[in-house]
Structure formats: structure tokens, C-alpha cells
Amino acid sequence: MMNNTKKIVSAFDFSSPALSISECKIGHINSTYFVDCAHDRYVIQKIKKEVFKDPPAIMANLVGVTDHIRAKLAADGGDVQNGALQFVKSGEHYYHIDDNGEYWRAYRFIDGICYESCDTPALFTRVGTAFGNFQNQLSDYDISTLYEAIPNFHNTAKRYEAFEAAVAADICGRAKECAAEIAFIRARRKDCSFIVDGLASGAFPLRVTHNDTKPNNVIIDKKTGVGLCVIDLDTVMPGSLLYDFGDAIRFGASSAREDETDLDKVYVRAEMFDAYTKGFVKSLSDSITKEELRALPEGARILTLEQGMRFLTDHLQGDTYFRIHREGHNLERTRTQLKLVADMEKKHSVLQGLVAQYY
């Protein structure tokens, strides 16, 4: 870490002076470090301005959302200490600007386990329960106060436009090798506006959404196995419940890695779909609408298609967004996503039947 570590740490109002500082090497965007004090452990992070253009607005989102959740926990007799992140002030603000103009934040460390993937339906149910609780706790949050961290992040129709622009430009001369994938996506062009049209018409309510619902963004209690807290809140912004459900299924219900090259190994696991749906829907209680409930399988398909488009767009543009580890890596990722889409379409009636038990 940079030489002014102690200066950054001392800018925050921790409970006692720092005894040690260590780097957390997990994560792809923000630089993260642990700060051990006499009685507490904290996390400090440098907010990556290249991704999150307005750090003060991001922090206003995070503090507002977590304060709201803690108020709900306090009213319900929940775990206020561990049920939501607790950010630490630096003077009057919940962020500190260092001598290089970089933004830093700090929050209290919550002890638990974050799983990179779910190997059992039971664990995936717990993850679904945690994200459903997150949605439910924020169902009455004033969305008008939220800053849109990454505009059009899950606007699949806009993602399609970017995809077509990349195909037309073909700056790397790669479109010919992707003809089958391009045709697959184009055949589903009309589907891309399904969620955004539902939001525009009011069929789907505008909600506070997390937008990165991977298992490792839930802290699980080591003793009870229950989800304690949802973390990594930088992409919290207005959106559809279908975004959060769909992205979780895309990642967690897949039978294979995101870059599996043997497509025969890639399919949607119905038992994992069922497990996540069970936890997610039950914890939402009455706040989920019938229209949203019926649309859950379609939400999963659309979000998977969207991710496939994003991978292919990046491949066509020369791999400038997603980190790759070999030539053609983004094309491999594209193919796994599109195989999942095809399998979801094949199993549509099965997935719809699993959701129907909650109508």
C-alpha cells in the first residue's frame, strides 16, 4: 500500500488507534485493506473513480440504504450490529480524500464466510433468502434519493444497441468467427426490452436493486449458516427485482464455470433454480407482485442473454472491459451464457412450474 497509509487510516473516526493494516487480495475493482484496532476490525477501501464517477454520491447511496436497513432491524429486534454495513465518518463525511485526490471509505468488519459459489441447494437457498430480505427491507425506501451509479447498467435494450454497434464496426475483424453467436442474439432482439418495457409501463415496480447478486456478496454466519449481511453495495440503484433474481440464477444455477469450453457441461440446474427461488420469494413476503413472480424465469433468461451480449461486445471491441486470461476468453464466456439461455428456453415449462408453487 502507499506510504501515506497511516495518514489515511488516521483520518477515520475509529474506536481506537490502528494496531496493524493488511491487504485484502480478493476483489476486482476497489482496493481493500483490513485495519485492526484494539477492540474492533475495520475495512478501508479506495473507491475506483474510473468505474464510479461520483464517489460522494455513491457513499450517500450506501449510507442511506444501510441506515434504513438498520432501522428496520432495530424495529424488528434483529441483529443491528451485523445485519448491515456500518460506515465510519471522516470528519463530517463518510469518505476521505487523500493527497492524490483518491476517495476512501471505511466500515466495521463483519465476521463470517463469503462463498465464491454454492455447491448445495441449501446454501443457495440461504443466499436467496439474504437477497430477498435485502429487497424486502428496502421495499419502502425513497428511490428518488438514489444516485444511478452506472447508468443503464441492466438496460438490456441499450446493451443490444451497443452490441450491434460493435458488430457493425468490427474493429478487430472478429465478427466472422462469431456469426453463430451474433445470429443467436439477433433472433432474440425483441426480448431485450422485456424488463425495461415492464418498468416503463408500471407492470414491474421500480425498486432498490443490488445489481451484483453473486454468493460472495452475502456474509454467512459461521455457526448458524444463516445470511448475516449483504455487502458490495456500490451498484445499488433503482431497477427491477428481476435484475437481482436473474443475475443470481445466471451465476449460481449454472452447472459450469462462466468460461467452460465444453458446452455439453453447461446447463441450468433446476434444483438450484428452485432452491434460490424458495429463499428469495419467501423472504420477500407480500412485497413481490404477481407480475414479478410470474416473470422470474424470463428475468433469468434475459439477464443471461444480456451478459452474453456484454461478453461478445467486449470480444468484438478488443477485450477492453472484462479482464481476459487467454485469447478468445470473452468468446468462450459468450458461448457459455448463450448455451444457458438455450437451456432455459428448453426448460421453460419446468422453471415456470417451480415458480408457480408460489403464486
What domains lie within the chain, and their CATH numbers? Answer: 5-108 (3.30.200), 121-356 (3.90.1200.10)
Span 3-17, average pLDDT: 81
Other Cβ atoms within 10 Å of 336 Cβ, number = 25
Q: Crossing angle for the helix pair 194-201 and 241-252, nearest 10 degrees?
A: 160
Q: How far is CA 200 from CA 61, 204, 209, in A?
A: 23, 8, 16
Mean pLDDT over the full length of the chain: 93
Model confidence at 105: pLDDT above 60:
yes
Task: State the burial class of residue 338 (Cβ atoms within 10 Å of its Cβ: 0-12, 13-18, 19+).
Answer: buried
Model confidence at 286: pLDDT above 90:
no
218 Cα distance to chain centroid? 10
Other Cβ atoms within 10 Å of 322 Cβ, number = 14
What kind and span of H or E run contains 60?
Answer: helix 55-76
Task: State the burial class of residue 162 (Cβ atoms within 10 Å of its Cβ: 0-12, 13-18, 19+).
Answer: middle
Could you give the CA distance from residue 306 to residue 341 in angstroms, rounded to a whole number? 10
Task: Look at residue 30 in the predicted model and tell me its pLDDT.
Answer: 53
Q: What percent of the chain has pLDDT over 70?
A: 97
**Three-state DSSP class for residue 238:** strand
Q: 35 or 254: which carries more pLDDT confidence? A: 254
pLDDT in tens, 47-98: 988 878 899 999 999 999 999 999 999 999 999 999 999 999 999 999 999 9
Task: Look at residue 323 in the predicted model and tell me its pLDDT.
Answer: 84
pLDDT in tens, 144-158: 999 999 999 999 999
- Write phi, then psi, for 289 (nearest 5 degrees): -90, 165
Q: 31 or 169: which carries more pLDDT confidence? A: 169
Model confidence at 331: pLDDT above 80:
yes
What is residue 221's DSSP assignment?
Answer: P
Amino acid at the residue 130: A
C-alpha cell at 46: 479506495
Task: Look at residue 2 in the predicted model and tell me its pLDDT.
Answer: 47
**Locate cell 448455451: which residue?**
339
Span 37-52, average pLDDT: 87
**Three-state DSSP class for residue 225:** coil
CA angle in degrees (0–180, nearest 5) for 14-89-87: 85
Cβ partners under 8 Å of residue 50, min gap 6: none
Task: Look at residue 34 in the predicted model and tell me its pLDDT.
Answer: 85
pLDDT-derived band at 23, boundaries 50, 70, 90: confident
pLDDT-derived band at 212, boundaries 50, 70, 90: very high
C-alpha cell at 206: 421500480
Span 302-325, average pLDDT: 95
Model confidence at 330: pLDDT above 70:
yes
Task: Look at residue 1 in the predicted model and tell me its pLDDT.
Answer: 47
Q: 166 or 116: which carries more pLDDT confidence? A: 166
Could you give the CA distance from residue 191 to residue 331 in angstroms, rounded to a whole number? 22
pLDDT-derived band at 25, boundaries 50, 70, 90: low
Cβ partners under 8 Å of residue 359, min gap 6: 290, 293, 294
**Locate cell 423472504: which residue?**
283
Q: Which of 21-30, 320-329, 342-351 has the lowest mean pLDDT?
A: 21-30
Structure-derived torsion over alpha carbons of residues 58, 206, 270, 254, reported in degrees to the nearest 10: -30
Q: 128 or 30: which carries more pLDDT confidence? A: 128
pLDDT-derived band at 33, boundaries 50, 70, 90: confident
